[in-house]
Chains A and B, each alone.
Chain A
């Protein structure tokens, strides 16, 4: 059962307004959240941000419709599959496939042995991207309380 598929995105994993104005800043800002939550040691913060950026070079995770899902799979530096979600009102340039800026960023960091769950989450997000209610809800929710 895909129980709590996106359950890792709890209150502490939400950044209601990203400071970032570039793809790299957005990724770094969200990786920092996973460090603060104890899923990643601070000494690996930079490695993981670089890992996400390397992955972006192979093909953008800007899926279109303002959503991006930067990620690193099966990392030995991640203690458990985790993630963070950030919003940007102004939008972040992300080389998205539709050329639009990204307003909703879901960072996913996978630990060793979590590839299947990781892929299930990516699939789920790709599906939700087409759900108008879901997108509008995330964009319009006022604060953490309205999301989490």
Chain B
């Protein structure tokens, strides 16, 4: 899957699974501040949200879990959400990553 491509599957109840691939482009990768921003953002959605790196999948609502990915600059991640607001959750977190978590450098 290329960067930014999205896949969607859904059911009749409005529960859908949305995935999107992103690449970490901020200077220091997924350190404490970005992990905190992702977790805070993920928690505002009802959907289950996970971040996948290689063969590891972690709960995006847990800062600790996100930190265990030890994802550095350039790392390719998949954001996947399942629930009634899956698309919004994935879009929001992808936007954070793409905005370099609003870091200055």
Decide: A148 and B67 in contact? CB cutoff 8 A: no
Decide: B70 and A6 in contact? CB cutoff 8 A: no
Interface residue total, chain A, C-beta cutoff 8 A: 24
Decide: B32 and A133 in contact? CB cutoff 8 A: yes
Decide: B59 and A134 in contact? CB cutoff 8 A: no
Q: Is the interface of A mostly helix, strand, loop or mixed?
A: mixed
A3 touches B (CB below 8 Å): yes
Decide: B70 and A134 in contact? CB cutoff 8 A: yes
A47 touches B (CB below 8 Å): no
B35 touches A (CB below 8 Å): yes
Q: How far is the CA of A140 from the CA of B65 in the complex (A)?
A: 16
Decide: B68 and A128 in contact? CB cutoff 8 A: yes
B57 touches A (CB below 8 Å): yes
Q: How far is the CA of A4 from the CA of B70 in the complex (A)?
A: 14
Nearest-neighbour CB distance to chain B for A91, whole angstroms, equals: 21
* Residues A1 and B67 in contact in the complex (CB < 8 Å), given A10-B62, A133-B31: no
Q: Which listed residue, A7, A138, A146, touches B36 by the CB 8 Å rule?
A: A146
Decide: A147 and B70 in contact? CB cutoff 8 A: no
Q: Hey, which chain B residues are within 8 Å of A2, CB to CB?
A: 55-57
Q: How far is the CA of A21 from the CA of B19 in the complex (A)?
A: 46
Q: How far is the CA of A128 from the CA of B65 in the complex (A)?
A: 12
Q: How far is the CA of A128 from the CA of B64 in the complex (A)?
A: 12
